Amino acid sequence: MLVSMNQSRRRFLQSSIGGAAAIGVGAAMPACFADAATAGNQEQERILVVVQLSGGNDGLNTVVPYADDHYRSARPKLAIPISDVLKLDDDTGLHPSIRGMHDLLQDGQFVAVRGVGYERPNRSHFESMDIWHTCRRKNEPRPDGWLGRFMDQQPESAGGDVPALHLGHESQPAAIASTSIRVPTVKTLAEFQLHGNDKQALRELLQTNRPVKPTQDNELLDFLQSSTTSAIAASQRVSEAAAGYRSDVTYPKTELGNKLRVVAQLIDAGLTTRVYYIQHDGFDTHAQQTETHSILLRQWSDAVTALIRDLDAHDHGKRVCVMTFSEFGRRVSENASEGTDHGAAGPMFLCGGGVKAGIVGKRPDLTDLQDGDLKHEFDFRQVYASVLQSWLGADPTAILGKDYQPLPLFG
Amino acid sequence: MNEMQTIDPDWAWQPFEPTSQRPWDRSLAAHLYRRSGFGADLARIDQAVMRTPAEVVSELISNNQETPDFRSTADSLAEATLAGGDPAKLSAAWVYRLLYTPNQLLEKMTLFWHGHFATGAEKVNDARMMWNQNQLLREHALGDFGRLVHQISADPAMLIYLDSAKNRKAHPNENFARELMELFCLGEGNYGETDVLELARCFTGWEIKNKKFRKNRYQHDSGIKSVLQQRGDFDGDDGVRIVLEQPATQTFIARKLYRFFVSEERSPTDALLQPLANLFRESDLQIAPVVERILGSNLFFSSNSVACRIKSPVELVMGMLRSLHATTNTQLVGRGLKNIGQGLFYPPNVKGWDGGRAWINSSTLLGRANLIADILENEATRFDGGSLSECLDRREVQTPDQAIRYFEQCLLSVPLDDATRIQIQESVESISGDTERQMRAILHALTSLPICQLA
């Protein structure tokens, strides 16, 4: 298994060296690739892929308390029929659309944590998302996010790859905002190249890291200049990295599937990037929820399962963890539009070869609600603390602001 | 933050008086045209310099409705798009207006309100409804904020976007009520969760039936509600009125206009915004007086504003095109803008575009350079009806150095450094036999530079 990894790594390095030599600039191979060729231990570093379900995923219809009468009475139209539930035990099952997750659970590669939330839940999408991203309330300063603070803790990698990558069209999530590191956003690998007749001259112009004249003391211009330099550098690295990827796994032909395939390519190419961030939007199901929610869950489950299988096949399965969360769950009672309104606590999910598989947390108590919403059993920062400590090998207290009791989520 | 506290609010909003350090010149006139609209050519900038800043601002404000001629041309083009029914093509119809309108401030404010009352075509999925909303925003863009909010509350596209097309007595839909307070009028922290529930009851019975708004009195909860400390058997119109009466409204909108026109970098103090907020309230929530005060103010022409914003994708692309009287394929521009984060009719979510530094990342920076390249290479692109070199030649711009200086005056908010100037010149030396290609390469390089992303 180790051989296949080394082969793919060698293939990638050969192809980029060969490519450089072919256009007559053999000696000018970017420093990062030269580093990558010698930095063997980097391969063991663990990677976190975050999948954000935006809009508020209906957790009760994802991990389903199918035998609970209160569930059926609160959801006369939306409850998942008992016969459809993918049953795990006598009272809990999974939504029928997430068979991929069900299979991962059987294979010991899936853990769901139920009842995750926080004190005084905020029901605004943006505010609640900001709380999950920054771990701070609105009245506190929040210049960065929890993953941004994780990156800040890491030793600086001279000429290395970007510490985190955001894939998507959306604006960057605050979770990866850092006061010292700028994280690039990539949509597709093909789009990540300059066009036009003069692209070579333009690349040289934009690459130049020009010191700003003291007379032009403009922070915003500094920001734009460093962003531009990092955009050009990242563009070259990323497009060369994925050139020779081969895979037998078929990813679903969805936006999420495409993004996760790119993640697999980049991981397999040996990038030292530790965090990948992907959003999957549309979970704000206020009306006609059944069909929409089912499609969204299937897209999520199929794409993440494909990624896990693909990483396994390329022998990266043991060093990648996919963490899924949403800014809140939904109201326990359905509304009159066959949908659900903004709620509070909900489940989180971790997938990959390193997790301790199972369902963590109690069955939600539908008779003990706050304003119609589920109370949380775990603070989301307990899950972050586990991921930071047990998976990424970081000090969670400094990142999360105080001590949170980690959960046994990793084997 | 600290710097903001040192700005004297009285000085900030007084009419700008040019001084010897800060004269009313091409640079400040270009700043006014870029911020209040998308940009002007050098001839227009020179005309403005001959007048006072207040005169120029007052003219921009008074052009608050489209001429009937322009309106009918723009509308008939939009109708052709609407006949196809594809909302994705609607962006191009708006690009036409952005490119040709003689009322740039009106169009800029329409874009502002689109970001404020953000509604996405992907979900509404009805081109006609999206277009009607766009016309509503334009009609009130420099008009009465209160009327705008009342009408947007009954706007089919908005209510569908916020899942509020059905709103029954037994199950009030909280979504519109929440966003009305959180995002449209007051801001988070200026209402409680109970206000959301009670306000939602006011809107019960408001629904969209056969694509039209109507009040269904059988579904209206006629009981007593308690909204923001007022009690009564309120309906939706009362609910909107009560929200608009809150003092938070004038500060919230003043802050948003400040971000749009002045700077998104540092958060202004409430004290700095107070004169604008007071003016907004004293003018019965009329929009034009506040915008006029901002655009003519000391602060707007100061170093706290000039070069202190990042151009939105629309500002970058339209600025380049309008300063050279350029026309191009509007579909290409519509698609391209979406690709770099500002799809017209496709805001990212109900909060609209975050703006500022959020516009910028590796992907959008490359995308900006690439969209300009695609426009320059598109066969439909014309400058003043012809080639770029002809257009510049008529303005007595013939050499690379002259071209760089010409573009610099229209497009940049701070002067170009000499090293970059020389590097651009050198990069086009090898193609000196082809003036058209040279000029395009210079324009492409200049618009792709970090400095050109500053508004």
Nearest residue, CB atoms, A220 vs list B351, B363, B454: B454
Look-up of token digits 């985190």:
A164
Chain B residues close to A123, C-beta within 8 Å: 178, 193
Query: Which pLDDT band holds residue A35 (cuts at 50, 70, 90)?
Result: very low
Q: Determine the average pLDDT of the residues in A182-202.
A: 79
DSSP string, A237-289: HHHHHTTT----PPPPSSHHHHHHHHHHHHHHTT----EEEEEEE-----SSH
Distance CA A344, CA A363 (A): 15
Calculate ∠ Cα B129-B135-B137, nearest 5°. 105
By C-alpha distance, the chain B residue nearest A340 is B173
Which residues lie across from B227 on neighbouring strands? B230
Confidence band for A19, pLDDT divided at 50, 70 and 90: very low
- pLDDT of A12 > 50? The answer is no
Query: pLDDT tens across A113-129, in order?
Result: 999 999 999 999 999 99
In a mutational test of the A interface, the residue from B27, B198, B360, B362 whose CB has the highest number of chain A CBs within 10 Å is B362
Residue A2 predicted with pLDDT over 60: no
Select the residue from B159, B195, B363, B452 to test the A interface by mutation, using most A Cβ atoms within 10 A.
B363
d(CA B216, CA B274): 41
Q: So what's the pLDDT on residue A39?
A: 36
Cα nearest neighbour of B423 on chain A: A205
Strand ranges (E), B210-314: 212-215, 225-227, 230-232
Letter for the amino acid at B18? P
Instruction: Please tell me if residue A219 touches chain B, with a CB cutoff of 8 Å.
Output: yes
B362 with A206: Cβ contact below 8 A: no
Our CA-based measurement puts residue B71 at a distance from the nearest CA of chain A, in whole angstroms, of: 33
Write phi, then psi, for B371 (nearest 5 degrees). -65, -40
| Number of other residues whose CB lies within 10 A of the CB of residue B274 | 17
Pairs of CB atoms within 8 A across A/B = 163
- Interatomic CA distance for residues B179 and B188, integer angstroms: 10
Mean pLDDT of chain A, nearest integer: 85
| Radius of gyration of chain B from its Cα atoms, rounded to whole angstroms | 23
C-beta atoms of A193 and B366 within 8 A: yes
What's the sign of the alpha-carbon dihedral A125, A131, A134, A139?
positive
Pair A185, A168: CB distance under 8 Å: yes
Q: What is the pLDDT of residue B1?
A: 40
pLDDT at A156 over 70: no
Axis-axis angle for helices B247-261, B270-282 (nearest 10): 110
CB contact under 8 A, A196 and B373: yes
H or E element in which residue B109 lies: helix B104-116
Is A287 an 8 Å CB contact of chain B?
A: yes
Considering only CB atoms, B417 lies closest to which of A191, A213, A223, namely A213
B4 alpha-carbon distance from chain centroid: 24
Chain A residue numbers touching B418 (CB-CB < 8 A): none
CA distance B165 to A265: 43
B423 contacts A208? CB cut-off 8 A: yes
- Domains of chain B by residue range: 313-453
The amino acid occupying position B348 is P
Q: Which residues of A touch B445 (CB under 8 A)?
A: 198, 201-202, 205
For the residues A285-298, what does the mean pLDDT come to?
97
Strand A346-351 relative to strand A110-117: parallel, antiparallel, unpaired?
Answer: antiparallel
Phi and psi, residue A391, nearest 5°: -105, -55
Residues A205, B423: C-beta atoms closer than 8 Å: yes
Q: What's the distance, CA A52 to chain centroid?
A: 6
pLDDT of residue A209: 58
Task: Determine contact, residues B266/B28, Cβ cutoff 8 Å.
Answer: no
Pairing of the two strands A86-87 and A164-167: unpaired
Q: What is the mean pLDDT of residues A179-190?
A: 73
Interchain proximity B427–A221, CB inside 8 Å: no
B308 to A225: CB separation less than 8 angstroms, yes or no: no
- Distances B35 to B53, B207, B260, B265, B444 between C-alpha atoms, Å: 14, 38, 9, 15, 22
Three-class SS state of B209: strand
For residue A159, the model assigns a pLDDT of 44
Q: Is any Cβ of chain B less than 8 angstroms from the Cβ of A337? A: yes
**C-alpha–C-alpha distance, residues B317 and B320, integer Å:** 5
C-alpha distance from B275 to closest chain A C-alpha (Å): 25
Kindly report the nearest CA distance between residue B404 and chain A, in angstroms. Answer: 15
pTM listed for this prediction: 0.75
* Residue of B303, B366, B454 best to disrupt the A interface, most CBs of A under 10 A: B366
Describe the crossing of helices B87-100 and B127-139 by its angle, rounded to 10 degrees. Answer: 30
Which residue in chain A is spatially nearest to B196 when comparing CA positions?
A123
Q: pLDDT grade, residue A23 (50/70/90)?
A: very low
Residue type, position A70, single letter: H
Q: Which of A228, A236, A255, A279 is the mutation pick for testing B, counting most B CBs within 10 A?
A: A228
Task: Give A308→chain B minimum CA distance, Å.
Answer: 26
Contact A194 B369 (CB under 8 A): yes
At A297 the pLDDT is 98
**pLDDT computed for residue B242 by the predictor:** 98
Domain extents in chain A: 1-38, 47-189+248-400, 193-241
Record: contact B360-A225, CB cut-off 8 A = no
**Residue matched to tokens 């404000």:** B61
> Which of A184, A196, A371 shows the shortest C-beta gap to B363?
A184
Of A123, A171, A201, the CB nearest to B358: A171
A169 contact B CB<8A: yes
Contact predicate B106/B63, CB 8 Å: yes
Q: How many CB atoms lie within 10 A of CB A121?
A: 21
**How large a percentage of chain A has pLDDT more than 90?**
64
Check pLDDT > 90 for residue A187: no
Residue in B with minimal Cα distance to A139: B189
Q: Which residue has the tokens 């006139």?
A: B29
Task: For residue B269, give both structure tokens.
Answer: 């103090």
Q: Within an 8 Å CB–CB cutoff, is residue A200 touching chain B?
A: no
Query: Are the beta carbons of A225 and B188 separated by less than 8 Å?
Result: no
pLDDT over threshold 60, residue A276 = yes
pLDDT of residue B5: 66
Q: Please tell me which of the candidates B373, B414, B417 has its beta carbon nearest to residue A218.
A: B414
Cα separation, A104 vs A317, whole angstroms: 12
| pLDDT of A34 higher than 80 | no
Mean pLDDT of the region A248-261: 95
User: How far is B69 from chain A, CA to nearest CA, in Å?
Assistant: 38
Give φ, ψ of B286 to 5 degrees: -75, 135
Put simply, the answer to whether A337 touches B351 (Cβ < 8 Å) is no
SS3 label, residue A150: helix
Which of helix, strand or coil describes residue B270?
Answer: helix
Please check whether residue A216 touches B, CB under 8 A: yes
User: How far does the CA of residue B219 sit from the closest CA of chain A (Å)?
Assistant: 12
Question: CB–CB of B163 and A337 under 8 A?
Answer: yes
Using CA coordinates, name the residue in chain B closest to A123. B193
| Secondary structure class of B171 (helix, strand, coil) | strand
Say which residues have a Cβ less than 8 Å from residue A124's Cβ, sequence separation at least 6. Answer: A342, B178, B182, B188
Residue carrying the six token digits 């970007």: A162
Distance to chain B for A20, nearest Cα, Å = 22
CA distance B171 to chain A (A): 6
Looking at the DSSP assignment, which residues form a beta bridge with residue A110?
Answer: A351
Q: Which of A218, A277, A370 to mutate to test the interface with B (most CBs of B within 10 A)?
A: A218
Residues of chain B in contact with residue A187, where contact means CB-CB under 8 angstroms, are: 363
C-beta of residue A52 within 8 angstroms of C-beta of residue A310: no
First to last CA, chain B: 21
Are B453 and A192 in contact (CB < 8 Å)? no
pLDDT along chain B (455 residues), means of 10: 74 96 97 97 96 97 92 92 84 96 97 97 91 97 98 97 88 92 96 96 95 95 98 98 98 98 92 98 98 98 96 98 96 92 89 88 86 96 96 96 96 94 94 94 96 96
Residue B85's region, left for phi above 0, alpha for psi from -120 to 50, else beta, is left
Strands A358-360 and B225-227: unpaired
Nearest to A205 among B163, B175, B445 (CB): B445
Separation CA B292–CA A41 (nearest Å): 62
3-state secondary structure of A323: strand
Stretch A84-100: mean pLDDT: 97
Give the gap in angstroms from C-alpha A131 to the nearest C-alpha of chain B: 14
Q: Which of A127, A170, A195 sits opposite B348 (nearest CB)?
A: A170
| CATH number belonging to domain A47-189+248-400 | 3.40.720
Decide: helix, strand or coil at residue B148: helix
Q: Residues 307-336, chain A: which have Cβ within 8 Å of B?
A: 335-336
Partner B contacted by A170 (CB < 8 A):
yes
